[in-house]
Amino acid sequence: MLNLDQILKTHWGHKKFRLQQKEIIESLLAGRDTVAILPTGSGKSLCYQLPALISKGVCLVVSPLIALMKDQVEQLHNKNIPAAALYSGLSHEESKEVYRNALDEDIKLLYVSPERLQSERFLRFLTNATISFIAVDEAHCIAQWGHDFRPAYLNIKDIKYELPNKPILALTATATPKVEEEIVERLELKSPKIFRGSFMRKELSLKVNQVENKETSLVAILKKRNRSAIVYCRSRRACKELSLLLNQENIKSTYYHAGLSKDERDTAQKSWLQNELTVIVSTNAFGMGIDKADVGLVLHYDLPESLEAYYQEVGRAGRDGKLSEGIVLYNSRSIARQNEMASLKFPSEHELRKLYTNVCNYLKIPTGGGAEEYFDFDLLSFVKATNYNTLTALHGMQLLSKQKVWSLSDSVYVPMRVQIVASREELNHIAHNYHRQDKLLKQLLRMYNGIWQYSVPINEYDIASKIKTSIEVINEDLRFLASRSYIKLVAKKDKPQLYFTDNRYPAEQIVLNYKEIERHKIHEQNRLAAMQKFVLNKSQCRMQLLAEYFGQQEHNPCGVCDIDNPAMVQINFASVKKLVDEALTHKESESFENIIGHLQGEERIQTMQLIRKMISEGLYQISSFGEVSKA
């Protein structure tokens, strides 16, 4: 028997396994399907990386995000563990090398996106490769009623048929008992061993602050802390505006959302990771795979949309074990606003059918056409052209994609496709007049069965190497043949894509399972209700409440949340004086409410009392309008 502790020490430099890691690894090494539900920051990836290292063959890791994969591969290289990732941005040569290395077992782990599992090339690879086991990261993405459903995760069970008897390890940080059930069912796990880590995080102090003015409170909170922080807010515009506001207040910050270019996102992320600035204001697009130890505060400027999302996001604080905070801000309008936004998520059946027609018209798809085709689809241009509300359109598109009317993806690479439509006479004509193009056509016929009947994806690199010419020449010749209607050519793409599973039908004929949509809606409402209960809760330890939601019993309160310990933040003369002085740095006077606006509960009361005392002692004065100034 291998000595696991020794391997842990050699490659990871740790002396001891953390809770349950060893049991999970042993279950997997014994060939058992295993589910590990462990909170963020408890060393999940080690549970498959270590067994991968000591097993024969290559471990397949299914992972939802390219950034996450790249990150992991880099970290493994730093530990001298050979690994690689297959994702859509790789060049043909690069992915060829990855496949070769995997076949030769020169790597121990191969990260793949769930979409990739369906590709023919990948399936061909599987039949020739030696696979040790399959690890499914962020396994909750498979749950249709979960908060992060990724339809491509449903493909995972298909590769199981190619790999009988290989155990699966499903990992996630958040799974309610219902999601756990779905994971087991949809991955078709055989009597799996299930591990659940404790949800309690004693170094994370959870707080919910009801405030008058969220902006003022945000500034005050951040000024007081001066620790690395993430501020989550809902809209892209708010990210930018809040970051601007913070910078005006001398709090160094940047912002991040999915609408920025890759370079902009990389720069923002890097400057925050390297502590060149303190705060990153971001949508929920930010954070997955981020492992920054010294995050002292995660602040939700808008109410999180579910407790799953909240727990995942707030879990990014305090990884270094130092006491950290998660603060949710809300005001009297927050809950009503959240309900309003949620109602937009479920357009009526009529509206969905109308959206379908509008999208087809916008993409100029004729009735009876469009099946199995990819279309460039930029939501914002669509919204502009059709006067849709962005959110209504987005949610409607997503619902139709869950109903398999189409599939909507972020930028994916779609290869060039060709169909030969020339007649025999035309082929003869080409053979006599265009020698170079003729050679290309004959090569296409040799390489791709069915190219007469339908358009097939082609690989211009393979063709070029077969007929010993350059890609440029191939492309030029393909364009030439297409311009004369000898072939049909669909250019390759790397824009967001809308893929039509079927031809366009009259809108009233598309099959919609509205009962299922109704069920989604109910799940969504339940999630929202749980989130709001958490926010309005004034009596139960917040960690206990979270654990309960995730189906766990925690007998002892955490002791550090705002319910267990309202005076978590030290209130004393010096801290309160500092608070008032800071509010008066750039201003002659400031309203009492603005000074203490971000505080609540016991902390608020004590602070108010202390300021009153300072006023009565003549340290500050207060006007009849409630404006505090220096005496």
CB of 207 to Zn ion, least distance (A): 10
Residue matched to tokens 């000024």: 223
Residues found in the chain: 631
H/E segment holding residue 450? none
CB of 600 to Zn ion, least distance (A): 16
Site for Zn ion in 439-458 (CB under 5 A): none
CB of 230 to Zn ion, least distance (A): 21
Q: 273 or 567: whose CB is closer to Zn ion?
A: 567
CB of 303 to Zn ion, least distance (A): 19
State yes or no: residue 564 binds Zn ion (CB under 5 A).
Answer: yes
State yes or no: residue 143 binds Zn ion (CB under 5 A).
Answer: no
Site for Zn ion in 357-376 (CB under 5 A): none
d(CA 308, CA 172): 11
State yes or no: residue 208 binds Zn ion (CB under 5 A).
Answer: no
CB of 314 to Zn ion, least distance (A): 13
State yes or no: residue 561 binds Zn ion (CB under 5 A).
Answer: yes
CB of 566 to Zn ion, least distance (A): 11
- Contact between 317 and 204 (Cβ < 8 Å): yes
Pick the closest to residue 43 from 171, 220, 157 (CA basis). Answer: 171
CB of 302 to Zn ion, least distance (A): 23
- Contact between 206 and 314 (Cβ < 8 Å): yes
Q: 246 or 558: whose CB is closer to Zn ion?
A: 558
What are the residues whose beta carbons fall under 8 Å from the beta carbon of 357, sequence distance 6 or more?
507
d(CA 194, CA 182): 13
- Contact between 69 and 63 (Cβ < 8 Å): yes
Site for Zn ion in 228-287 (CB under 5 A): none
DSSP string, 114-155: GGGGG-HHHHHHHHHS-EEEEEETTGGGG-TTSSS--GGGGG
Quick one: which segment of 461-469, 490-498, 549-557, 590-598 binds Zn ion (CB under 5 A)?
A: 549-557
What are the residues whose beta carbons fall under 8 Å from the beta carbon of 37, sequence distance 6 or more?
171, 172, 173, 174, 175, 180, 194, 195, 196, 197
State yes or no: residue 558 binds Zn ion (CB under 5 A).
Answer: yes
State yes or no: residue 557 binds Zn ion (CB under 5 A).
Answer: yes
H/E segment holding residue 61? strand 58-62
CB of 560 to Zn ion, least distance (A): 6
Q: 205 or 269: whose CB is closer to Zn ion?
A: 205
What are the residues whose beta carbons fall under 8 Å from the beta carbon of 181, sequence distance 6 or more?
none
Q: 558 or 628: whose CB is closer to Zn ion?
A: 558
Q: Which residues pair with 590 in a beta bridge?
A: 628
Q: 416 or 541: whose CB is closer to Zn ion?
A: 541
d(CA 259, CA 378): 11
State yes or no: residue 546 binds Zn ion (CB under 5 A).
Answer: no
CB of 534 to Zn ion, least distance (A): 12
CB of 541 to Zn ion, least distance (A): 3
Cα-to-chain-centroid distance, residue 589: 44
Pick the closest to residue 307 from 520, 528, 462, 107 (CA basis). Answer: 528
Q: 199 or 620: whose CB is closer to Zn ion?
A: 199
State yes or no: residue 566 binds Zn ion (CB under 5 A).
Answer: no
State yes or no: residue 547 binds Zn ion (CB under 5 A).
Answer: no
CB of 563 to Zn ion, least distance (A): 6
Quick one: which segment of 208-216, 330-338, 353-361, 554-562 binds Zn ion (CB under 5 A)?
A: 554-562
Q: 535 or 541: whose CB is closer to Zn ion?
A: 541
Q: 284 or 537: whose CB is closer to Zn ion?
A: 537
d(CA 80, CA 391): 46
Q: 25 or 328: whose CB is closer to Zn ion?
A: 328
Site for Zn ion in 525-544 (CB under 5 A): 541, 543
Q: 132 or 544: whose CB is closer to Zn ion?
A: 544
Quick one: which segment of 49-57, 70-78, 390-398, 552-560 binds Zn ion (CB under 5 A)?
A: 552-560
Q: 419 or 540: whose CB is closer to Zn ion?
A: 540
Residue 166's alpha-carbon distances to 34, 56, 160, 287, in angstroms, are 11, 12, 8, 31
Quick one: which segment of 109-117, 396-404, 471-479, 550-558 binds Zn ion (CB under 5 A)?
A: 550-558
CB of 557 to Zn ion, least distance (A): 5
Pick the closest to residue 46 from 70, 68, 66, 20 (CA basis). Answer: 20
DSSP string, 172-239: ES---HHHHHHHHHHTT-SS-EEEE-----TTEEEEEEE-S-HHHHHHHHHHHH-S-EEEE-S-HHHH
Quick one: which segment of 233-241, 409-417, 564-572, 589-597 binds Zn ion (CB under 5 A)?
A: 564-572
- Contact between 10 and 53 (Cβ < 8 Å): no
CB of 564 to Zn ion, least distance (A): 4
Tally of helices (H runs) and strands (E runs) in the chain: 25, 22
Q: 144 or 565: whose CB is closer to Zn ion?
A: 565
Amino acid at 276: E
Pick the closest to residue 225 from 155, 325, 320 (CA basis). Answer: 325
Q: How many residues bind Zn ion (CB under 5 A)?
A: 6
Q: Which residues bind Zn ion (CB under 5 A)?
A: 541, 543, 557-558, 561, 564
